[in-house]
Amino acid sequence: MSKKVVYSQEDYEDDLSIYTSEAKENNSYFSPRGMGLDLSLVEKSEYIEEENVGIQETPILVIFDLPDGSQGENMFKLGNTVEVLKSVIESDYGIPMAKQDLYLEDQRLMDPLSLLDYPDVKGVDELYVRVEGPMASGAKK
């Protein structure tokens, strides 16, 4: 049988005062003292975070090789997921997302990965993706 722990308003206020008073001393917004961590010596990784955001936002032209032999193209960002590509294919070319298989060369693109998760995508301006699945008869080409 497990014990149920109930926190009172006083317990909450005591914990909050630890965080706020220590944060004021360190001129920071939050102090993780209550978790037993001292992060005061850890270097901030702002540069890395900004660099990753920049990479994710990099535009890339994706050219779809469609099942009927035609091609279509759309602009995406490297951070877009395979699911986003499938959604665009469904709306623009009429192939249901659940019945689509996307390939980069011979490698199948998998949900929930992003374009950045595939090494062949980095450093290119355009990407050829083979689309397999049943195409609607009135779909845009």
**What are the start-end ranges of the H helices in the chain?**
9-25, 46-56, 82-93
pLDDT at 135 over 90: no
Instruction: Render pLDDT for 76-113 as a digit per residue (tens, 0 to 9).
Output: 999 999 999 999 999 999 999 999 999 999 999 999 99
Residue 70: CB atoms within 10 Å: 13
CB 81 within 8 Å of CB 111: yes
Region of residue 70 (phi > 0: left; psi between -120 and 50: alpha; otherwise: beta) = beta
CB–CB of 60/126 below 8 Å?
Answer: yes
User: Residue 125 is which amino acid?
Assistant: D
Order the strands of the 107-108 sheet from edge to edge: 71-77, 59-65, 126-132, 101-104, 107-108
Query: Rounded to 5 degrees, what angle do the CA atoms 54, 57, 61 make?
Result: 130
Region of poorest pLDDT, from 9-18, 57-66, 131-140: 9-18
**pTM exceeds cut of 0.75:** no
Q: What average pLDDT is seen over the chain?
A: 78
Separation between Cα atoms, residue 20 and residue 31, nearest integer Å: 8
Using DSSP's 3-state secondary structure scheme, residue 114 falls into strand
Residue 26: the pLDDT is 54
